[in-house]
Homo-oligomer: A and B are copies of this chain.
């Protein structure tokens, strides 16, 4: 690796091992203690505090071993970059890492878990006491979209303890937790013994709950089995085979709504949410709460419905689904922005009682990252420094 001094001729950028780093990018990422709080790396200046773009230049650059020292004009500011930091941030080399998009996921269908040994699962006791087990489960949640726990206490509210073991419960109008069992004259299919097709929860909420937990207290009914479907996989298959249908679902906001005597929730988002680079990032799929689509002219409606139906058929394919049965003490934890859940019908006479709650992926990912530090599984990159810093909120 050599520093190509010639590239500094006009001072607009630096070239290192063939990678280009514009002056303003280097200056904005200066790691010196005056620019970035040691430890947390919290930036101590604002973009408008930098010299005007027309003036900002690299005056000189020197490499010494694994460090690169850059002096900027017009103010003479001196920055020293670890070469590893620059190598880790080659510009435009690949899409930026975003662990919420399909790039960070392992797609699956039910067959991928035909061997039960491949199921991401753990005993509750190990999950609580063994950091490696907890890290592995959270990793499964973030890459496969789910994990299973066995041996959780068979008592009410235990589901909250599971959520609190890796994150924070998201309270909603349903409370901190909700019960799923047969109710007389149910206002909702969930509280009947009827089968429920794969869906994501609460698409009428924004922010949508990004994690759902379901803990089984009783399942003495015949039927009432659970199913999970990888929505990212189905969306990717749709994109591959029917790109226009995929684009139509990704480009059409749909309103989902829920009303009862004390709540009136509404959110408008596409069924397939993409990031600005077109990567699949969020699935919302729930026929029950979907309201009339009005975003398209009538002439486009048949194509929209054909796309919606094609996506539904992919999601409803028996082979797409991972089926299992929750027994008392089991708890399934899944990514509600990606994995759809379903249940088979069951004998109404049978007793079936689940408790569920919501939590969020950002805290689960944070827990995984912190566990990895302790486990020595470096997550790499010079800006992954950690320190007892705390950003909180400023005002």
Task: Give residues in A with beta carbon < 8 Å to B.
Answer: 12-13, 19-22, 24-25, 28-29, 37, 39-48, 50, 53, 89-93, 95-100, 168-174, 178, 180, 187-191, 196-197, 199, 201-202, 205-208, 210, 212, 214, 226, 250-255, 257-270, 275-277, 287-302, 305-306, 308-309, 312-313, 316, 341-343, 354, 356, 360-363, 365-366, 369-370, 373, 383-395
Contact = CB atoms under 8 A, between A and B. Distances in A.
A12 B42 CA distance: 59
Contacts of A365: 264-266
Nearest to A22: B301
Given A207-B210, A363-B173, A25 B258 contact: no
A387 B343 contact: no
Contacts of A373: 264
Contacts of A267: 100, 362
A305 B250 CA distance: 29
B295 A188 contact: no
A170 B46 CA distance: 28
A393 B267 CA distance: 17
Contacts of A258: 40, 391
A308 B53 CA distance: 11
Given A43-B288, A53-B306, A257-B383, 7 more contacts: A24-B302, A25-B292, A47-B305, A189-B394, A199-B394, A264-B369, A265-B363
B360 A188 contact: no
A266 to B, nearest CB: 7
Contacts of A253: 96, 98, 275-277
Contacts of A170: 168, 170
Nearest to A13: B298
Contact of A268 (B97, B189, B270, B366): B97
Nearest to A15: B298
Contact of A392 (B191, B290, B385): B191
A276 to B, nearest CB: 5
Nearest to A187: B389
Contact of A287 (B47, B95, B266, B275): B47
A162 to B, nearest CB: 15
A173 B25 contact: no
A254 to B, nearest CB: 8
Contact of A190 (B172, B288, B392): B392
Contacts of A369: 264, 266
Contacts of A390: 174, 187-188, 191, 260
Contacts of A255: 96-98
Given A259-B389, A277-B253, A288-B43, A294 B96 contact: yes
A190 B263 CA distance: 36
Contacts of A205: 362
Contacts of A366: 173, 263-265
A343 B91 contact: no
Nearest to A255: B96
A126 B35 CA distance: 46
Contact of A43 (B290, B296, B343, B388): B290
B276 A89 contact: no
B188 A96 contact: no
A80 to B, nearest CB: 16
